[in-house]
Structure 1
Amino acid sequence: MNNKTLASNLNVLDLFCGCGGLSQGFIQAGYNVILGVDFDEAALQTFKYNHNETQAIKADLSTDEAFLDIEKNIGSKNVDIIIAGPPCQGFSLTGSRDINDSRNSLYLAVVKAVKRYRPKAFLIENVPGMATLYNGKVKEQIINTFQDLGYNVTVTDRPLLAADYGVPQMRKRMFFVGFQKDLGNFEIPNPTNTPETYVTCEQAISDLPSLEDELGKENDYYPVDPQSDYQKMMRINADTLYNHTATKHTEYVKSVISQVPEGGNYKDLPPGVGESRKFNEAWTRYHSKRPSRTIDTGHRNHFHYKYNRVPTIRENARLQSFPDDFVFLGTKTQQNRQVGNAVPPLLTYNLAKQILNQLQSSEKKNNLAPQEYQVSTSFE
């Protein structure tokens, strides 16, 4: 196994690419990602650093100028797959079959791209709340819009749980996947894991330095060999440990953290302790024998299952299934935002692999001349 993807003739355009979680999964599955587009400069720097054969541009996808920039960078290349993770803030409804309202400009960017490039397939990722927004009318509207463009659209009937696909995290996300109508309907891939075989926090990060007595360094070494198959997979191409530095806590904060039991939260603290932070995710300590809670864009609500500190960037990246040779750039705040906003690459990989398999199957079924798609085994 290695990180070099196997040959594929499928070109991918990644809109709202962030640091590249979606792209990472598609690259691992053997696709050729030709361009990433986002407006976050720090995230783009991380994207470009880790996908050095892929271009990335800063553009406001709510504007027509963004598509001129995309055209300049893509040139005459075909776009076979479009992937995107647009935010849904400010979504407005104008009718059951149309999302062409200016307030929906970020989703409209995906519609414009699909209409322009007519890809074989597209994948849109979003938060579970999208399914019920405006009593489900937004979901219906998105489906109808792409159906009118000539696509069969499959929506996850329930949000996919990352832990079901080998990610050590109880993160839920929903996906819209569209196929050109002559290529059939997308089928959601079967889970690879069950609750009995979920990858746990301990299996994910126990090989990393404790940082109990030091803050660590941006470029460090591994103190022990991999302790689990998951750790072996994360370290396969890495000989240097990046982004594993601790946050300096006050003695008071460390004292409060020390009183949170494994798997517990602020509700388990004694009366009068930790009074300043009382909300669902506050003072939450991970459990070593379970996947983590959803990694967010901050870093001060969750704690290591064993040590009295918040997780490092690398620990959160591991819990998101980013391999260790994926380096995050920018300030710590920017790095935390990049990790928290990303789609877990291993979850994406399973979806990307399924798209490949179905494209090849559909082309054979329709007596088309199928391209020789080959699925990478980098994540297996």
Structure 2
Amino acid sequence: MRSVELFAGAGGLALGCELAGFNSVKTVEWDRWACDTMRENKAHQYPLVADWDVVESDVRLVDWSGVDEIDLVAGGPPCQPFSMGGKARSADDKRDMFPAATEVIRELKPRAFILENVRGLTRSAFSNYFSYIQLRLAHPLMVARDAETWADHYARLQAEHTSGHNEDLEYQLVPTLVNAADYGVPQQRHRVFLVGFRSDQEAEWSFPAPTHSYDALLHDQWVTGAYWERHKVPVSKRPLLTDRENRRVEGLRKLTQSELGGRPWRTVRDAFEDLPEPTVKGSRVHLNHLLQPGAKAYPGHTGSPLDLPAKALKAGGHGVPGGENMLRRVDGTVRYFTIRESARLQTFPDRYELHGAWGEAMRQLGNAVPVKLAQVVAGSVAQHLAMAEFRANMLAQDALQPAL
């Protein structure tokens, strides 16, 4: 199946789509460093990106002529207009690229799209604009008029949406807020997915069910103890539970494995299991595994605990507000994640190299979509597109059969 990637960044969503069976026709990103990451991996013949056409450009300036029969448009528009760490200006922020993404969907008419963004988009302050985004994506042919405000356009879209009229191009949209940890990513990363299917596709799609859970992790650690045995962690090196955690664990003792909500959340320790402790000299075996000195803990800047999924990586380095880009050991000492460790937390393949210095690479990773989560979502979309195509072909064959 043929796909197009918008706002590709370091390639997390695009890699997940490739693993799910899509082949990227164009991979668009405006940032030079992120493009260099994709281009260098392509030059090194990394198989997932070997055929990518990396386009370093503003999405709004790309020439889409000759790009047709696209099955999927995927992308993560810049999150800064909706991020809790930013000014949260939504439609008044020039970095709001949802209108640009809608224009690409209008032009390419893909069978489906996947767009991803921060959970801040679901905040009550953005409720009307979030609804506006969804209606724009559902009705991409209904473009804004010259000098029309988004509020006025929103009103027209609402009227069109409830009119019962059928457009030539319309999408059935499913918005979903998820935690990446629930899908086997060793990181608590809450994100909004907007997945749409063209109305002529009988996809019958719903968002994939979670496969991992916090309760299953607590059970693995504190009921059976299998987690500590697997990692060979003696009792003296295990963290202490809070009273609240102890009460929760007591409740879990009565549950069977099938009642725990899938497999255990993957932790930082799980993700780093076979990585050596980093040094300032780096590693000859592991790409981008170089110690970054200078990490410090202080109130509100505490790092990610070793035996839980990491906090959501942030697009920054030393000044990240909550110390999200630091590891906190059981004894309370901290150090920065290496680029390779951060890539593992984002489930990038080990052979995929990040271009640029530590801060630049961390920015790319902090903005990325976890590859495994992207693969889960894109894989489900691919499966349902294939089934929709199969049903359409069967109906076409039945229509050609002579009447009895």
The equivalent of 2:19 in structure 1 is 28
The equivalent of 1:231 in structure 2 is none
| Cα distance in 2, alignment partners of residues 142 and 297 from structure 1 | 24
- Correspondence 1:298 to 2:316: yes
Partner SS state of residue 110, structure 1: helix
User: Structure 2 residue aligned with 1:183, among 201, 207, 217?
Assistant: 201
The equivalent of 1:164 in structure 2 is 182
Partner SS state of residue 304, structure 1: strand
CA shift digits 1:301-339 (9 cap, x unpaired): 243243642110011111111110110012222111011
The equivalent of 2:55 in structure 1 is 57
Partner SS state of residue 62, structure 2: helix
User: Structure 2 residue aligned with 1:210, among 277, 281, 299?
Assistant: 277
Given that 1:201 and 1:289 are in contact with CA atoms closer than 8 Å, whether structure 2 keeps it comes out as yes
Aligned partner of 2:62: which letter?
F
| Cα distance in 1, alignment partners of residues 189 and 352 from structure 2 | 20
The equivalent of 2:379 in structure 1 is 353
The equivalent of 1:46 in structure 2 is 37
CA shift digits 1:70-108 (9 cap, x unpaired): 43xxx35532210011125558xxxxxxx9999576212
| Cα distance in 2, alignment partners of residues 103 and 308 from structure 1 | 37
Q: CA deviation at 1:146?
A: 2.2
Structure 1 residues 366 and 18: alpha-carbon distance in aligned structure 2, compared to 1, 3 A threshold: same
| Cα distance in 2, alignment partners of residues 179 and 104 from structure 1 | 26
Q: Which moved more, 1:131-140 or 1:165-174?
A: 131-140
Structure 1 residues 153 and 292: alpha-carbon distance in aligned structure 2, compared to 1, 3 A threshold: same
Unaligned runs of 5+ in 2: 42-48, 83-89, 141-169, 217-263, 397-404
Scaled by the length of structure 1, what TM-score is found?
0.72
The equivalent of 1:67 in structure 2 is 62
Unaligned runs of 5+ in 1: 1-9, 92-98, 222-240, 258-265, 268-278, 371-380
Q: CA deviation at 1:365?
A: 3.5
Aligned partner of 1:119: which letter?
P
| Cα distance in 2, alignment partners of residues 24 and 155 from structure 1 | 22
Aligned partner of 1:203: which letter?
D
The equivalent of 1:121 in structure 2 is 112
- Correspondence 1:319 to 2:317: no
| Cα distance in 2, alignment partners of residues 111 and 126 from structure 1 | 15
Partner SS state of residue 309, structure 1: strand
| Cα distance in 1, alignment partners of residues 271 and 92 from structure 2 | 43
Q: CA deviation at 1:203?
A: 0.8
Partner SS state of residue 210, structure 1: coil
Given that 2:81 and 2:93 are in contact with CA atoms closer than 8 Å, whether structure 1 keeps it comes out as no
| Cα distance in 1, alignment partners of residues 391 and 354 from structure 2 | 43
Structure 1 residues 102 and 205: alpha-carbon distance in aligned structure 2, compared to 1, 3 A threshold: closer
Q: CA deviation at 1:22?
A: 0.3
The equivalent of 2:135 in structure 1 is 144
Aligned partner of 2:52: which letter?
T
Given that 1:363 and 1:369 are in contact with CA atoms closer than 8 Å, whether structure 2 keeps it comes out as no
Q: CA deviation at 1:162?
A: 0.4
Structure 1 residues 204 and 316: alpha-carbon distance in aligned structure 2, compared to 1, 3 A threshold: same
Quote the RMSD (CA, aligned, Å): 2.4
Is the helix fraction higher in 1 or 2?
A: 2
| Cα distance in 2, alignment partners of residues 11 and 114 from structure 1 | 14
The equivalent of 2:293 in structure 1 is 248
User: Structure 2 residue aligned with 1:338, among 349, 361, 364?
Assistant: 364
| Cα distance in 1, alignment partners of residues 308 and 69 from structure 2 | 43
| Cα distance in 2, alignment partners of residues 210 and 100 from structure 1 | 45
Identical positions, percent: 30
Q: Which moved more, 1:117-126 or 1:142-151?
A: 142-151
Partner SS state of residue 99, structure 2: helix
Structure 1 residues 182 and 299: alpha-carbon distance in aligned structure 2, compared to 1, 3 A threshold: same
Given that 1:133 and 1:139 are in contact with CA atoms closer than 8 Å, whether structure 2 keeps it comes out as no
Structure 1 residues 135 and 108: alpha-carbon distance in aligned structure 2, compared to 1, 3 A threshold: closer
CA shift digits 1:200-254 (9 cap, x unpaired): 111111321213xx3132x522xxxxxxxxxxxxxxxxxxx100001133xxx6x
Radius of gyration: which is bigger?
2
Partner SS state of residue 115, structure 1: helix
Given that 1:12 and 1:33 are in contact with CA atoms closer than 8 Å, whether structure 2 keeps it comes out as yes
Structure 1 residues 102 and 201: alpha-carbon distance in aligned structure 2, compared to 1, 3 A threshold: closer
The equivalent of 2:174 in structure 1 is 154
Partner SS state of residue 182, structure 1: coil
Structure 1 residues 18 and 368: alpha-carbon distance in aligned structure 2, compared to 1, 3 A threshold: farther
The equivalent of 2:163 in structure 1 is none
Aligned partner of 2:363: which letter?
R
Structure 1 residues 105 and 67: alpha-carbon distance in aligned structure 2, compared to 1, 3 A threshold: farther
